[in-house]
């Protein structure tokens, strides 16, 4: 947190930094700052620039402030990893078949895999969402899990299955469990057979994308700087 506050101090006017920076740094070394302290320093920098400075300076400072705030918030978000696998469908003769031709059957299959009992079994087996399960109804946890699961047609003959989770190993294990359930539920079907085309991949971190979030913060800050500079522009009273 200290390094983030030091960066925020760079947003203050040069005159303030020249006069108070040494004293401020000494004070910062003697305390253990928290999020509220960061917000107070951040707010103080913006308030100073709202009363002084030119249009260009307003826009630049607010742009940097937006980028800094977005970057700081991104570090409070939990990392998420995703593991992806592919299934293909073959007919009874062993020939590749189009999954689209079996859409109704496929939708019923996915529905069974994502039902309450199926997902509850995976949650308990892999010890998922332990923090959420402590104070959240099970149905809400199941909805959360369904939002982390993707089962979609990748092509006419391939079905993509993926799971996203803060723990990389569990993301891969759950993707494997989903494959097993899909194939197990499919055994009763005689029209087509699902087979693993690509096993669960090594999990990759996909969230948060800190570069994208910082860029969005920069854009939002620049826009806010322009708006505030326009609102606070000097008003000329014309007399007739």
Domain boundaries, the chain: 2-76+209-231, 80-206
Q: For residue 4, what pLDDT is reported?
A: 72
The yes-or-no verdict on residue 185 having pLDDT over 60 is: yes
Q: Buried b / exposed e across 37-71, counting CB within 10 Å, b at 16+?
A: bbeebbeebbebbbeeeeeeebbbbbbbbbbbbbb
Q: What angle do CA 120, 125, 126 make, to 5 degrees?
A: 100
- Can you give the pTM of this predicted structure? 0.61
Q: For residue 62, what pLDDT is reported?
A: 77
Q: To which H or E segment does residue 82 belong?
A: strand 80-90
Q: What is the mean pLDDT of residues 95-121?
A: 78
Q: What is the dihedral of CA 172, 173, 174, 175, to 10 degrees?
A: 50
Fold designation for 80-206: Alpha-Beta Plaits (3.30.70)
Q: For residue 98, what pLDDT is reported?
A: 57
The yes-or-no verdict on residue 93 having pLDDT over 60 is: no
Q: Model confidence over 122-158: pLDDT tens digits?
A: 999 999 999 999 999 999 999 999 999 999 988 777 8
Q: For residue 169, what pLDDT is reported?
A: 94
Task: Kindly report whether the peptide bond that precedes residue 208 is cis, defined as omega within 30 degrees of 0.
Answer: yes
Instruction: Return d(Cα 171, Cα 206) in angstroms, integer.
Output: 12
């Amino acid at each position: 947190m200290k390094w983030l506050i030091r960066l925020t101090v760079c947003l203050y006017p040069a005159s303030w930094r020249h006069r108070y920076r040494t004293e401020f740094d000494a004070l910062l070394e003697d305390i253990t700052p928290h999020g509220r302290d960061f917000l107070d320093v951040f707010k103080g920098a913006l308030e100073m620039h709202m009363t002084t400075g030119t249009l260009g300076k307003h826009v630049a400072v607010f742009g940097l402030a937006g980028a800094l705030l977005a970057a700081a918030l991104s570090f409070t978000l939990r990392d998420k990893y995703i593991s992806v696998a592919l299934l293909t469908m073959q007919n009874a003769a062993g020939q590749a078949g189009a999954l689209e031709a079996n859409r109704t059957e496929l939708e019923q299959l996915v529905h069974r895999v994502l039902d309450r009992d199926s997902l509850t079994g995976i949650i308990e087996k892999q010890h998922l969402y332990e923090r959420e399960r402590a104070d959240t109804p099970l149905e809400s946890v199941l909805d959360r899990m369904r939002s982390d699961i993707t089962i979609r047609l990748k092509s006419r003959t391939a079905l993509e299955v993926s799971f996203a989770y803060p723990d990389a190993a569990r993301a891969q294990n759950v993707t494997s469990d989903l494959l097993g359930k899909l194939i197990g539920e499919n055994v009763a079907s005689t029209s087509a057979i699902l087979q693993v085309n690509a096993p669960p991949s090594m999990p990759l971190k996909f969230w948060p994308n800190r570069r994208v979030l910082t860029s969005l913060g920069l854009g939002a800050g620049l826009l806010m700087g322009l708006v505030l500079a326009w609102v606070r522009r000097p008003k000329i009273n014309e007399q007739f």
